[in-house]
Chain A
Amino acid sequence: NAGVMQNPRHLVRRRGQEARLRCSPMKGHSHVYWYRQLPEEGLKFMVYLQKENIIDESGMPKERFSAEFPKEGPSILRIQQVVRGDSAAYFCASSPRGFHEQYFGPGTRLTVT
């Protein structure tokens, strides 16, 4: 059973470009979470999604950030018009049910130049 997959593993964008981060949950998992980890800081919750639904986006910046988890395909975290402060590791996690331990992917390291 493959684990949570994220791609790309490393992404470099210039200021003002768009970044698209993909997450494929573990087989059988229908709950997806996105977290951001800044250097020397803990993981910060961004958004929680189920298929075709955003359940909790209280950790998402109000502008430039969006997330989706379509009926088919991976979950996507989209950052428009990236700025240097968006440079971080973005982790995706999945779980089979809402109240269950989350399993994390390897992360996407975003660098904005």
Chain B
Amino acid sequence: EDKVVQSPLSLVVHEGDTVTLNCSYEVTNFRSLLWYKQEKKAPTFLFMLTSSGIEKKSGRLSSILDKKELSSILNITATQTGDSAIYLCAVDVGQGAQKLVFGQGTRLTINP
């Protein structure tokens, strides 16, 4: 069975800290790995990673994929209270159509 595991499940830090969120996967068919941010409502897309070792960056957020270790990390530097959310990792295991398997999420809380 395809499996995506995120760690930690929950993280509380102070504003200004840097955090690293982890995602590991065991799947039969890997096409890409995606990160989403979920606040109260819809998950919003952050990154899609397909190639190992290439960092994707957007402002204070960055992510990298390691296909050898079957894992990815999401880094957030200089955290702000607005970064508080659940961060979801998903792996596309589709063979034709895209099919996402999600991890259980990391709940990040940033205290002022």
Q: Which residues of A contact B (CB under 8 A)?
A: 3-4, 31, 33, 35, 40-45, 48, 55-56, 58, 91, 95, 98-107
B86 smallest CB distance to A (angstroms): 9
Which 10 pairs show the lowest CB-CB distances between chains A and B?
A: A42-B102, A106-B41, A104-B42, A43-B102, A42-B104, A104-B43, A106-B42, A101-B45, A98-B97, A55-B97
Q: How large is the interface on B (under 10, 10 to 19, 20 to 34, 35 or more residues)?
A: 20 to 34
In contact, B97 and A48 (Cβ under 8 angstroms): yes
Q: Which residues of B contact A (CB under 8 A)?
A: 4, 31-32, 34, 36, 41-45, 48, 88, 90, 92, 94, 96-105
CB of B45 within 8 A of CB of A45, answer: no
Residues of A within 8 A of B44 (CB): 104
Q: Is the CB of B41 within 8 A of A100?
A: no
| A3 and B42 form a contact (CB under 8 A) | yes
